[in-house]
Structure formats: structure tokens, C-alpha cells
């Protein structure tokens, strides 16, 4: 004990050990904080918001630029794309937008053949002033049918129109919750249905106990256009339509990442 008491080296070693321990703890703690800071910075990435914004802008531009039938106002589109490049350049992005050809939409939610085939087109409708369905070339097979369904807020059935493929064309039936209201066969390849004007469909009589939802069922079985216009519960007017689809090819490039997407844009019916 006397010998050890005379050696202060133990004290020095203890000092070094404590110092080393503190150093290692500091380095580890710094690494943890640095790593979590880097992770936190990555969650601040706004590319998702920028992409959603550019998709919405492009959709609006295509809808504004749409002219008669299947054509765009090329001057509008050209100005739009050049000014978009200018605006995004100031944010550090290189933007490229090109449009594809027009094509007929399906009655699915996104207009594509693989889109959501059973969907609600309009919710909480009080009344409808205009409701047209146009199928330019019906090619229903006998196993396919497309339905326009009107159901109440508790999902009770008010009215349903079914277009079913038959050997000679299309069978159109209309039912309410209890009875068959209308039935006819149509051999024409072109179907133009005005649901409000055709009194045989009894649409208004069966939808008086609104508000209700307008739904498309099996929308992937039919290609065509629709226009629905009216008033929502609460008094707000609404109008929804789809006539064509066009694919927008968008490229958004920065020094960190490149985003290339192709988005189907729905073109509404113009009331020109």
C-alpha cells in the first residue's frame, strides 16, 4: 500500500481514462444528433408538393387550351409551357411538358381502363338540371354491363339505369327500389342518353327524396362522355363532365433529382 501510495501514475491513468470516456461519449452523441438532423432535413423535401402543383397547373392549362373537338389552342399551350419553364427556372427546376393525342375515356374514376370502376361522381346532390351520357361506339359484350346508380345518403337505392350487352346491341333498363320502370333494346352503336329530358326514365320522380349520390358502376365496361349539372345540398351549383382524355408527359429536374411522370388529364365538355 505504501508503494502504490507513492505512485501518482495511477492518478494520471485515471485522468486519461476519464478524459477518453468523455471524448468517446461526445463523438457518439454528436453522430446521433448529426444523423437525426440529416434525416430531419430529408423530410423537408418539397418535391412531392411541387410535382402535385405542376400536375394541377398542367391539367388546368390543357382544359383551358382545349378547343373544338380534338384539338388544342397551340398558341396557349406554347405560351404556357414557355412561361412555366421561366417560373420554375427561378426555383432551380428545369421543366418540360408535352401533350399526347386525344382518346375516349372510360367511365372509371380516372378515365383509364384500369381505373377505379365503381366510384361516386357527385355527392350530396339536391337536384340535377342536365344529365347526359354518350357512348359513341358501344361494344358491350353479353357479360358486361354499366350502371348509373342513384343512392341516398344511407346508401338506399333510389334509381338505377343498367346498360347490358345483348346479342343485337344494348339492353337499357331503369329500376327504382321496387319496380322496373323502363326497358328497351337498342341496336345502334351510338348511344346518346338524356336522362332528364327522357320522361320514360322517371329520373326526377324517383330522386325527389334527396339529397343523393350519383355513382358509376362497372365504369371500365364502357367508353364515353358524361355531363352532369345541378345543385348540391346547401345550394351550391355544380357541373362535372368529361369528354376526352389526353396524356401529359411532365419532366421536373433539379440538381438533386429527376421526376418524370405521365398523367392522364380529363378534358371537360365545352359549352360553346
Q: For binding to other proteins (CB under 8 A), which residues are involved?
A: 6, 8-9, 11-12, 14-16, 18-19, 22-23, 25-26, 29-30, 33-34, 36-37, 40-41, 43-44, 46, 49, 52-54, 56-57, 60-61, 64-65, 73, 75-76, 79-80, 83-84, 86-87, 90-91, 237-241, 268
Residue number with CB closer to other proteins (187 or 270): 270
Give least dist CB 234 to other proteins, A: 14
- Of the pair 50, 144, the CB lying nearest other proteins is at 50
Q: Shortest Cβ distance from residue 186 to other proteins (Å)?
A: 29
Tell me the closest approach of the beta carbon of residue 62 to other proteins, in angstroms: 11
Judged by phi (left if over 0) then psi (alpha if -120 to 50, else beta), residue 125 lies in: beta
Q: Smallest distance, Å, CB 152 to other proteins?
A: 22
Closest CB 127 distance from other proteins, rounded Å:
16
Comparing CB distances to other proteins, the nearer of 64 and 205 is 64
Amino acid at each position: 500500500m505504501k508503494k502504490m501510495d507513492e505512485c501518482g501514475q495511477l492518478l494520471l491513468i485515471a485522468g486519461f481514462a476519464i478524459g477518453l470516456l468523455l471524448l468517446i461519449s461526445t463523438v457518439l452523441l454528436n453522430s446521433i444528433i448529426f444523423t437525426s438532423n440529416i434525416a430531419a432535413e430529408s423530410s423537408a423535401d418539397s418535391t412531392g408538393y411541387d410535382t402535385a402543383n405542376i400536375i394541377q397547373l398542367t391539367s388546368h392549362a390543357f382544359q383551358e387550351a382545349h378547343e373544338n373537338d380534338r384539338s388544342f389552342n397551340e398558341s396557349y399551350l406554347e405560351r404556357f409551357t414557355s412561361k412555366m419553364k421561366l417560373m420554375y427556372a427561378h426555383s432551380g427546376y428545369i421543366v418540360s411538358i408535352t401533350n399526347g393525342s386525344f382518346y375516349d375515356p372510360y367511365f372509371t374514376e380516372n378515365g383509364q381502363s384500369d381505373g377505379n370502376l365503381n366510384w361516386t361522381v357527385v355527392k350530396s346532390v339536391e337536384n340535377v338540371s342536365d344529365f347526359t351520357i354518350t357512348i359513341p361506339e358501344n361494344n358491350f359484350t353479353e357479360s358486361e354491363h354499366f350502371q348509373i346508380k342513384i343512392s341516398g345518403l344511407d346508401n338506399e337505392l333510389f334509381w338505377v339505369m343498367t346498360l347490358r350487352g345483348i346479342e343485337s346491341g344494348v339492353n337499357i333498363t331503369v329500376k327504382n327500389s321496387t319496380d322496373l320502370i323502363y326497358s328497351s333494346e337498342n341496336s345502334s352503336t351510338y348511344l346518346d342518353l338524356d336522362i332528364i329530358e327522357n320522361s320514360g326514365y322517371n329520373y326526377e320522380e324517383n330522386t325527389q327524396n334527396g339529397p343523393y349520390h350519383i355513382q358509376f358502376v362497372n365504369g371500365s365496361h364502357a367508353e364515353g362522355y358524361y355531363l352532369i349539372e345541378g345543385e348540391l345540398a346547401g345550394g351550391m351549383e355544380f357541373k362535372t363532365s368529361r369528354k376526352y382524355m389526353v396524356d401529359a408527359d411532365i419532366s421536373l429536374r433539379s440538381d438533386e433529382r429527376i421526376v418524370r411522370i405521365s398523367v392522364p388529364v380529363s378534358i371537360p365538355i365545352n359549352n360553346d
